[in-house]
Amino acid sequence: MSIDHNGEALRAETPGSSAARASAVNGEPAVVELNDANFAAEVLALPSAVLVDVWAPWCGPCRLMAPLMTWAASTYAGRLTVGKLEADSNPGSRDAYRVQGLPTLILFRDGVEIGRHEGAMAKPQLQAFLDAHL
């Protein structure tokens, strides 16, 4: 298990591990740790909605968003998978989706981008963003 930039536990997923997605850490749905190797299997191959938080450890606004990713995973459990992609160590996925600013939230459904937001936001704005697309 890895720890995110805010000290929260992340569940490392591997391709084909969709059954593990339903498991939880401390009773809460876990945020999936994404990387270039598992991005296609954990995001693009899923028929459900996936929120990808593209972040960096040196990014202050990214650290502000970390608790909201855990909140979204819990609040939208069963309807949304939440994953975090560290931008600097995963240039393939970062560049494929033309991420230029951090944090960037990209919402996918059926492997297709359906929404994007660049920059930090408060919980009400995140909730409105998700509710508009789910």
Catalytic machinery residues: 59, 62
Angle CA 72–131–11, to nearest 5: 25
How far is the CA of 116 from the CAs of 101, 102, 126, 130, 131, in angstroms? 12, 12, 11, 10, 13
Residue 81 and residue 70 in contact, taking contact as beta carbons nearer than 8 Å: no
Integer Cα distance of 131 and 134 in angstroms: 5
Integer Cα distance of 42 and 17 in angstroms: 8
Q: What is the largest CA-CA distance in the chain?
A: 35
The two structure tokens encoding residue 91 = 């240039």
